[in-house]
Amino acid sequence: MKTLLLVEDEKLIRQGVRSMIERSGVEIENIIECNNGEAALEILKNQEVDVMFTDIRMPKMDGITLVSKASEFKKKPLIAAVSGFDDFDYAVGMLKNGVQEYILKPVDRKKITETLVKFEDIYEAEQEKYMQERNVAFQQLKYMIFCDDITVAELENTCHIIHKYIPFDKYAVFCFSAKEDDNEFTEKDKYFYVQGRDSLNFIITDAQYFNDVKAKLQHYYVGVSLVYENFFDVKQAFCEAAQMRRFSFEKCEKLVDADGFKELPKDFEYGVKYMMQTANLICSNKLEEAISQLTAFSEGVKSGKYNINEFQEQMKIIIRTTMKVYKNVLANKEEDINELADIYAFETIDVYMDVIKEWINHFNELVGQDIDEHKTNIKMQKAIEYIKEKYATDLNMAVVSNYISMNYSLFSYTFKQYTGTNFVNYLKNIRVGEAKKLLTETDMKINEISQAVGYDHEKHFMKTFKSITGLTPSQYRNNLG
């Protein structure tokens, strides 16, 4: 364990407990002491604490309040309450509020050691579980970054999972060349290292450590993305960093930062800035921004600032990228969309841009429908899981629709569309299915089984069972013999 926080207002007791902790044989890297709950709370706010030993009665803020507030943090420490016999009733309440152990004064060294050993086992199990889940999440991150055919639903779901392990409010991506993993970048919660293709490697970092990472990469040729806030843009950030690195390779420049790069060549600017970004803007309902970017490009062509051939090539890239990312949504629209890549099929660039704007608006409607359907499917799955868990209770459609926060009538219609049957019949089939198991695997009486699967009245149960199976419960059981 890394950090233990010891909270005790009596100095001699605090020193004694610390000594016992240090001689327990359980390895702890850092022990922090403080003499009241307020000071302890500030420490918990500013750094991760793995274990906290706290007294109950203290000035400014008592242990009960401290424990209650500590339970609100995302990273909660393992807590042991240390106090006198008179506080035992308080301790019982604390045990229900996130305290794992209660240590009675006068403090016994054996009890301290037993508590630390127990906490060490819990901590190591949690760390192992965290690392396993984190490794899976990072495999998903690599898939999302390097797969060209990822769908909107996959992108949304993967970003949600990964953000749990890379919880940056603002982030940037660095790309540099290295043949093997660089062990220099292993500091937890500051930056995360991702090995890519073609000797390209990436570091995604919290924006506050931007200069720290830049300093560590001073001996490399590096490309840097813009700073992003929405984790849904992480794929774009990686693409941007990779393209900046390629440009640093071409121009022999040590560091190319997208934020400070003003004069991009015509064969580069819109490939990076608009290829992924335009697709994401369209999907995110930021239609005005997407149209504004494309309009600026077309106006640049008209004024002679940009080459018409480059305009055509970049429109092909945007369309092709959109088709790959949103292939499920656009499955039946491929032929129509591919026609947009041929700009000379239109009379003028203004006519072409009018068609593109219409396409963007139509595309947004299609994506919106797909996202709504995805969210509805998640709600339906949640409803089904709830029914399977609560089938034995007094369950009805109002209870389930309320549980998933969906209008009663809409739930009734959507549930039937999703399952192929109405709610009442679905619940009947679940209950009868469970009743069959009990008839097969137990010696329970019919009335007991009736109660166990959610029917208060045996006659109602028997009638329902026969309507579905064609047999009474007794006949069904006898046929098994």
Per residue in 384-393, pLDDT (tens digit) is 999 999 999 9
Question: How high is the pLDDT of residue 284?
Answer: 59
The 10 Å Cβ neighbour count of residue 335 is: 7
Distance CA 37, CA 83 (A): 14
Distance CA 127, CA 105 (A): 31
Average pLDDT over residues 440-453: 92
Report the share of the chain in percent with pLDDT over 90.
25
pLDDT per position as a tens digit, 87-134: 566 666 666 667 888 888 888 899 999 999 999 999 999 988 888 887
Among 421, 478, 466, 425, residue whose Cα is nearest residue 450: 466
Domain boundary among 262, 279, 300: 262
Is 231 in the same domain as 190?
A: yes
Question: How high is the pLDDT of residue 264?
Answer: 45
Distance CA 32, CA 109 (A): 19
Q: Which pairs with CB-CB distance under 8 Å and at least 24 residues apart come from 176-183?
A: 176/200, 176/201, 176/203, 176/217, 176/220, 176/221, 176/222, 176/223, 176/245, 177/201, 177/220, 177/221, 177/245, 177/249, 178/220
Question: How high is the pLDDT of residue 188?
Answer: 55
Please report the sign of the dihedral spanned by the C-alpha atoms of residue 63, residue 68, residue 69, residue 75. Answer: positive
Distance CA 7, CA 160 (A): 36
The residue range of the domain holding 94 is 3-127
Is 93 in the same domain as 173?
A: no
Please give the structure tokens belonging to residue 52.
């906290």
Is 9 in the same domain as 114?
A: yes
Which stretch of 87-96, 142-151, 239-248, 334-343 has the lowest confidence by average pLDDT? Answer: 87-96
Cα 47 to its chain centre, rounded Å, is: 22
Please give the structure tokens belonging to residue 339.
């026609």
Domain boundary among 199, 227, 262: 262
The 10 Å Cβ neighbour count of residue 443 is: 8
To 10 degrees, what angle do helices 287-303 and 269-283 make?
Answer: 150
Report the share of the chain in percent with pLDDT over 70.
78
Is 186 in the same domain as 246?
A: yes
Question: How high is the pLDDT of residue 431?
Answer: 94
Is 193 in the same domain as 111?
A: no
Domain boundary among 199, 229, 262: 262
Residue 30 confidence class, pLDDT cut points 50, 70, 90: very high
pTM for this predicted structure: 0.48
Among 114, 40, 93, 35, residue whose Cα is nearest residue 70: 40
CATH number at residue 84: 3.40.50.2300
Is 113 in the same domain as 165?
A: no
Question: How high is the pLDDT of residue 408?
Answer: 82
Residue pair 24/50 in contact by the 8 Å Cβ criterion? no
Strand order in the sheet with 200-206: 191-195, 200-206, 171-177, 222-224, 255-257
CATH number at residue 424: 1.10.10.60
Residue 452 lies in a domain: yes
The 10 Å Cβ neighbour count of residue 63 is: 30
Residue 347 confidence class, pLDDT cut points 50, 70, 90: low
Provide the number of structural domains found in the chain: 3
Residue 450 confidence class, pLDDT cut points 50, 70, 90: very high
Residue 364 lies in a domain: no
Is 95 in the same domain as 196?
A: no
